[in-house]
Structure 1
Amino acid sequence: MPGLRSSVGSARTMAAASWQLARGRVFRPVVAAAAKKQEPRRTINVMTYNILAEKYTLGGWHSYCPTQHLKWESRRARILEEIESYDSDIICLQEVEAGVFSELLQPWLQQRGYRGHFQARQYGENVQGAPEGVALFYRTSLFEPAHVHEFTFAAVQTDPPAPLSPWLSSSSSSSSDTEDTSTTALVAPTPAAAATARGPNVRLATGFGASSAATAAPAVASSSLSSSSSSRAGGERRLGRGGGNSEFWSVFTRRQEGAILALLRHRPSKRLLLAGVTHLFWNPAFPDVKAFQAAALCREAAAFLRRHCGGSAAQEVPVVLAGDFNSLSRKCVPDVFDPKLPRGPEGLVSGVYALMTRGRLPPDHPDHPASRRRPGETANGDFRDVTLTSSGLRLASAYCLAHGRDPPLTTRTATFAGCLDYIFISPQHFEIESTLELPYDDPSSSYSTSTEGRSSRSWYDSVRDPLSDVAFTPIPDDVYPSDHLSLAARLRLKD
């Protein structure tokens, strides 16, 4: 990729540069934690950032952004500066192209004392453009790696199992669990995806809100999968699995999303910590697939902990799982995917968010595989009376713990705005010292009331549709290099 190596050298001078984004976003202390005695050696800074793969800037989905600001040559220095400015100990990145990892991020962050791992979520001959995936970096002066595990959700031994599943387990060729943490790009030999990993992400993301673009989304999603899934769907029907809902299994088993888990030893305290990065399926027509991916993530994380730390490790080891979960914490405006929403200020809490923060997703939740039905589908009998769980992991959103709710938005395009990115932590193990504030008017981020005297909670309740209710222009632009905003939190290990 042109210019990658030159950017490594130029990045060395960035510490002296004054950049608008780095200056504009600061860490705001959490009131409860600020009053306590600070112990720097027990503080861990975690960052998550979807950096927007270069190939997704070429499809016309960001036509609102001038071309010169979409070019990688323009965006890369701003991405590097943002990563460096927040001085994180654990860095979780999404939409990292393989070449960007191996030629830019890996050597650049290695010079700064980090070790990194890459998991591609696109493989095979049908991938358009460079494969992209997730990357996990951690500061080696603070953490000693014990075990690293890379896997795809389709390779997890799920409950219920997928029809025609070869019962892939964590020892399969598409996952790895090693003590020697590799720093090279991992490209696993799994089948090509049934649809592009992000593809029309920016367009179809409008399905979270009412828009003309969203109206066509189900048809686009269905047509993109029908040809590649027809033979498998027939096999499912022959086995009597999946009921009338063959689309769910066809999509789940062919998707290539996954995660990287790293069991790290915190050098100052000698304690083990589990850090993970993931990027769930983008398509708003399949919240049931996303929920099952989240359940697979938790199931594999809990098994990984038990394998290396003992039976009760899911409750004893501090956990940080961060990434782009492509799911809203709440939906208050009906759309083509959810024309009817529950009454109340919270609206519809997505299946992914409910599972991650409440530990379970009952079959009657609208995003559960037993309840979600697309046009022409009937109930999926495989999930009748099956409650999806977090496999014993107790998790909460760091921003919600700090502020009482999640940000109104972490992504903003011309047609969609919402919170899709999260830092999930085990609250029994961490206190939150500060969070990176958002670059828009958000009373709770500064712990004050608005000019009208409303409380931050009242302001939050008034934000029903972030696209119209939050004053923040579409990104990327000349300041923000991605269509997602980064999140970061400073966590303090409890005694």
Structure 2
Amino acid sequence: NPLTQDILNLYLEPDGTRRLLNYLLDNLAGTAKRTLFSVMCYNVLCDKYATRQLYGYCPSWALNWDYRKKAIIQEILSCNADVISLQEVETEQYYSFFLVELKERGYNGFFSPKSRARTMSEQERKHVDGCAIFFKTEKFTLVQKHTVEFNQLAMANSEGSEAMLNRVMTKDNIGVAVLLELRKELIEMSSGKPHLGTEKQLILVANAHMHWDPEYSDVKLVQTMMFLSEVKNIIDKASRSLQSSALGEFGTIPLVLCADLNSLPDSGVVEYLSTGGVETNHKDFKELRYNESLTNFSCNGKNGTTNGRITHGFKLKSAYESGLMPYTNYTFDFKGIIDYIFYSKPQLNTLGILGPLDHHWLVENNISGCPHPLIPSDHFSLFAQLELLLPFLPQVNGIHLPGR
């Protein structure tokens, strides 16, 4: 590209290269600085699941909700995350406890119970658990909120698949999602520059709890595909309804996905999320006939099955690199990683995470499984500090300088 005249004049002067570099550096107004926010993911162990039958190694007084809830809220508040995704939140406890405690500290929230709540009496509904997302109102404004019911999606997209109707539709797991707008003053504070024009910076936070039974790996994988497909629909619709400037430099709304996937790192679920696709004959499908219905959930539309793979369009990365967290679920009978925070590249990046509890501390305190008088849930919380790469694309004397 030809240089503009004033840039060319500088360049042609004696010592022009150095003078030009200094000029450009002095006028480099557009390099984006970091906008940071933190995310917590935590399965709090719903009261009705905290039984002596399941957790016989924990004294009954330490399983009691009134005892455990104090340590749970203390854990949440000590992390002080900007966004909090919780699973196994009892409906009544969401409204009477979590929302009350967190609103006092500057959060707002959104909650949906599992689908079975639809068919229950008001009294029974109180004890149904679900998923909740909280966010700091000083950082974010709520734009949209969504509930994703997997049994409804299974029914609507069965395409004659008996496995879809008999195995997936009968499970009442759900996911929730909130579209958040980052407050403009935070963008300006982090960049040191006024944000361009009327641009909005949006983020979609999604939270889900997949089916628990190890014998139903197919259901977990289908539920995950459904959820990602719905998340893509939400992002696509939001993108179309907003000005193109709302999408920023990368052309799409960044995604943070928190979940208790009830799936280990070597599962089809995690392979699907982290690699962008999975084979239609993956062992986790258990040779059941899902093929026709799965194409409905391909994030690339009906043509999303390429060479026998179901693919999606997100570039997702786990906030926790392999080996950093030995387990997120820690019971007497099972210890493994089943909880995750994923985020979309290239818009987001991990700056830091909260690591595991010290193994020696667990041994010294004879903690062979959780919950325990010192640990209120059978899950450990995840916490990640993320940076949002903001587009600032200025012109310096006619030269277009790309953002970071």
**TM-score bucket (shorter structure):** 0.7 to 0.9
Q: Distance in 2 between matches of 1:141 and 1:70?
A: 35
Which residue of structure 1 aligns with residue 368 of structure 2? 473
Counterpart among 262, 284, 290 of residue 214 in structure 2: 284
Which residue of structure 1 aligns with residue 353 of structure 2? 435
Structure 1 residues 128 and 282: alpha-carbon distance in aligned structure 2, compared to 1, 3 A threshold: farther
- What one-letter code is carried by the residue in structure 1 that aligns with 2:182? H
Q: What secondary structure does 2:145 align onto?
A: strand
Aligned length: 321
- What one-letter code is carried by the residue in structure 2 that aligns with 1:425? Y
Q: Distance in 2 between matches of 1:434 and 1:381?
A: 39
Q: What secondary structure does 2:147 align onto?
A: strand
User: Could you tell me how far 1:150 is from its partner in structure 2?
Assistant: 1.2
* 2:312 matches 1:391: yes
For structure 1, the residue ranges without an aligned partner over 5 or more in a row are 1-36, 164-240, 330-348, 443-467
Q: What secondary structure does 2:320 align onto?
A: helix
**Correspondence list, 1:224-373, <5 A:** 241-242=160-161, 246-267=162-183, 268-269=186-187, 270-310=200-240, 316-329=252-265, 349-368=266-285, 372-373=286-287
Which residue of structure 2 aligns with residue 155 of structure 1? 152
CA deviation profile, 1:129-165 (whole Å, cap 9, x unmatched):
811100010111000111111121233379x9215xx
CA contact (8 A) 1:156 1:300 kept: no
* 2:111 matches 1:118: yes
Q: How high is the TM-score relative to the length of structure 1?
A: 0.60
Structure 1 residues 148 and 384: alpha-carbon distance in aligned structure 2, compared to 1, 3 A threshold: closer
Structure 1 residues 358 and 125: alpha-carbon distance in aligned structure 2, compared to 1, 3 A threshold: same
CA contact (8 A) 2:163 2:289 kept: no
Counterpart among 46, 55, 75 of residue 82 in structure 1: 75
Which residue of structure 2 aligns with residue 17 of structure 1? none
Which residue of structure 2 aligns with residue 413 of structure 1? 331
- What one-letter code is carried by the residue in structure 2 that aligns with 1:324? D
For structure 2, the residue ranges without an aligned partner over 5 or more in a row are 1-30, 188-199, 296-304, 391-404
Q: Distance in 2 between matches of 1:412 and 1:162?
A: 35
Q: Distance in 2 between matches of 1:397 and 1:478?
A: 31
User: Could you tell me how far 1:290 is from its partner in structure 2?
Assistant: 0.7
Q: What secondary structure does 1:361 align onto?
A: strand
Query: Larger Rg: 1 or 2?
Result: 2
User: Could you tell me how far 1:316 is from its partner in structure 2?
Assistant: 2.0
- What one-letter code is carried by the residue in structure 1 that aligns with 2:369? P
Structure 1 residues 361 and 87: alpha-carbon distance in aligned structure 2, compared to 1, 3 A threshold: same
Which residue of structure 2 aligns with residue 490 of structure 1? 385
Structure 1 residues 417 and 324: alpha-carbon distance in aligned structure 2, compared to 1, 3 A threshold: same
User: Could you tell me how far 1:251 is from its partner in structure 2?
Assistant: 2.1
Q: Distance in 1 between matches of 2:309 and 2:223?
A: 10
Q: What secondary structure does 2:215 align onto?
A: coil
Structure 1 residues 249 and 315: alpha-carbon distance in aligned structure 2, compared to 1, 3 A threshold: farther
CA contact (8 A) 1:395 1:424 kept: yes
Which stretch of the first structure deviates more once superposed, 123-132 or 247-256?
Answer: 123-132
CA deviation profile, 1:329-375 (whole Å, cap 9, x unmatched):
0xxxxxxxxxxxxxxxxxxx21110111111111131113xxx14xx
Q: Distance in 1 between matches of 2:54 and 2:95?
A: 27
Counterpart among 59, 64, 71 of residue 66 in structure 1: 59
CA contact (8 A) 2:154 2:168 kept: no
Structure 1 residues 157 and 74: alpha-carbon distance in aligned structure 2, compared to 1, 3 A threshold: closer
Q: Distance in 2 between matches of 1:59 and 1:253?
A: 30
- What one-letter code is carried by the residue in structure 2 that aligns with 1:363? T
* 2:88 matches 1:95: yes
Q: What secondary structure does 2:283 align onto?
A: coil
Structure 1 residues 52 and 388: alpha-carbon distance in aligned structure 2, compared to 1, 3 A threshold: farther
User: Could you tell me how far 1:379 is from its partner in structure 2?
Assistant: 5.0
Structure 1 residues 247 and 489: alpha-carbon distance in aligned structure 2, compared to 1, 3 A threshold: same
Q: Distance in 2 between matches of 1:105 and 1:87?
A: 14
Which residue of structure 2 aligns with residue 425 of structure 1? 343
User: Could you tell me how far 1:392 is from its partner in structure 2?
Assistant: 1.2
Identity value in percent: 29
Structure 1 residues 67 and 381: alpha-carbon distance in aligned structure 2, compared to 1, 3 A threshold: same
User: Could you tell me how far 1:472 is from its partner in structure 2?
Assistant: 6.2
User: Could you tell me how far 1:429 is from its partner in structure 2?
Assistant: 1.4
Which stretch of the first structure deviates more once superposed, 387-396 or 280-289?
Answer: 387-396
Q: Distance in 1 between matches of 2:102 and 2:311?
A: 32
Structure 1 residues 473 and 59: alpha-carbon distance in aligned structure 2, compared to 1, 3 A threshold: closer
Q: Distance in 1 between matches of 2:294 and 2:351?
A: 42
Which residue of structure 1 aligns with residue 12 of structure 2? none
Q: What secondary structure does 2:130 align onto?
A: strand
